[in-house]
Amino acid sequence: MVKELKKKHNLSLVGLIETKRQTVMKFDVGRIWGDSGAGWEYVGSDGASGDLLMIWDEAFFKLNNCYKGERWLCVEGAVLKNGFNCAFFLVYGAHSREEKSHVWEELSYIAGLRQVPCCFMGNFNEIVSVEERKGTVSLPLFADEFRGWIEDMHLLDLSLTDRNFTWFRGWSCSRIDRAMVSVEWIEEFPETRLRGRPRGLSDHCPIIVEDRRTRGGLRPLQSLDSWFTHEGFLRMMKEEWRSLGELEFTDKLKAVRGPLGRWHKENFGDMDKKISKFEDEIKKVDDMVSNEVYDGTLEARRKALVTCCERWYVRKEIHRKQMCRSRQVKDMDRNTRYFHHLASARRMNNQIDSLMVNGRLVRNQARIKLAIREFYKDLYHQERSPLLGIRDGLVERIDEDECATLEALPSAEEIREAVWDCESSKAPSCDGYNMNFIKRC
């Protein structure tokens, strides 16, 4: 089964728990992985805890260090494709409260010691919500502690997109197998997803962590509040708007997307790289001062660089806050990590990877969009009554005065009042210009 999964999904790393073997040899790894080069590490069982085996493609991952506990295995190294330094943890959760706390403390210590992006996966023997165990109305005693550990570690618990439970025994079923990644992991692999596969003869369903881009078509343009911190933005918008002549308002909004996209790429593309550039320049000035090279010109340059760097920090914070849509944080606090964490979680929770349509699981993004559109067309459609000529159940007859009131065009003052009453972060359509853009421009 493992060999078939590896071949079907082109897996680069596999973690196995409770292989039921006393020892694992190179021959055993070859039977699972095939003839291609494979690295592997093994933690044997002492009878009280399950054994753990991790195998990886040596063309995918280069091992630097390995750490082992009674119930966990950690391999640290680099993903060769992009040089990404990270650590993979394979975990077999304990059953008693004392043992669980001990395992979580060990994992926290090793992760803190290595200070690299981490991916934790395995059977944690714990749930974090009542929905993760069939028939449960209250959380077990350890659930709050486990959830607290996840939050303290700043981990993102990847949601399963195609099933509710991963462990089955008789009438009992729970989601105790999971994968969790750090914020830095999501920054490098923003399209990380978790899927479950059929469990076969096992009590547990295999889970697969993959990085894939599921959004179909061109990425929609969103209006960013950080644009207004650039001194040339409003001037550019005025010039582009006037150049469109007498087009309808909505047509102008569509037409200006192209110039806005190009302007954004030129002026706001890769903010992290711009910040790093300014920081490097500031370091060069500091090094010159350390070598006793100092004059008024150098000090003026350092102040200018600090001002520019601070401006880009503010722009990045505004952008992250808008992306995460956090209403708890009213003022900028330089906590970009917090904003990025919320934005990543929100993006992943809102992504529709698959949809059950007429009893069939659909993964194609174009078909998912079509199915959603047709569903709501049918939902809000009302048949016309052949006798009354009006839509049944929707309206009653109105008199002429009411009709005139409904058909009257709103005044400019009424339109402005309606727009300014809207929250600035809201947009008239799912991917359109938000109200802040409309008000400011």
Q: What is the pLDDT along the chain (441 residues), one digit of tens a residue?
A: 788 888 888 899 999 998 877 788 888 888 888 777 889 899 887 655 678 999 999 989 999 999 998 899 999 999 988 889 999 999 998 888 888 889 999 999 999 888 899 999 999 999 988 889 988 888 887 888 898 899 888 888 888 877 889 999 888 899 999 999 988 888 788 778 888 888 888 889 999 998 865 444 445 557 888 898 888 999 999 998 988 888 888 888 888 888 888 888 888 888 888 888 888 888 888 888 777 776 778 888 888 888 888 888 888 888 777 766 554 454 445 555 555 666 666 666 677 778 888 888 887 777 888 888 888 888 877 555 554 444 445 556 788 888 898 899 999 999 999 989 988 877 776 557 888 898 988
For the chain, domain boundaries: 2-211, 225-350
3-state SS track over the chain: CHHHHHHHHCCCEEEEECCCCCCCCHHHHHHHHCCCCEEEEEECCCCCCCCEEEEEECCCEEEEEEEECCCEEEEEEEECCCCEEEEEEEEECCCCHHHHHHHHHHHHHHHHHHCCCEEEEEECCCCCCHHHECCCCCCCCCHHHHHHHHHHCCEEECCECCCCCCEEECCEEECCEEEEEEHHHHHHCCCEEEEECCCCCCCECCEEEEECCCCCCCCCCCCCHHHHHCCCHHHHHHHHHHHCCCCCHHHHHHHCHHHHHHHHHHHHCCHHHHHHHHHHHHHHHHHHHHCCCCCHHHHHHHHHHHHHHHHHHHHHHHHHHHHHCCCCCCCCCCCHHHHHHHHHHHHHHHCCCCEEECCEEECCHHHHHHHHHHHHHHHCCCCECCCCCCECCCCCCCCHHHHHHHHCCCCHHHHHHHHHHCCCCCCCCCCCCCHHHHHHC
Q: Which CATH number fits domain 2-211: 3.20.20.70, 1.10.10.10, 1.10.150.20, 3.60.10.10?
A: 3.60.10.10
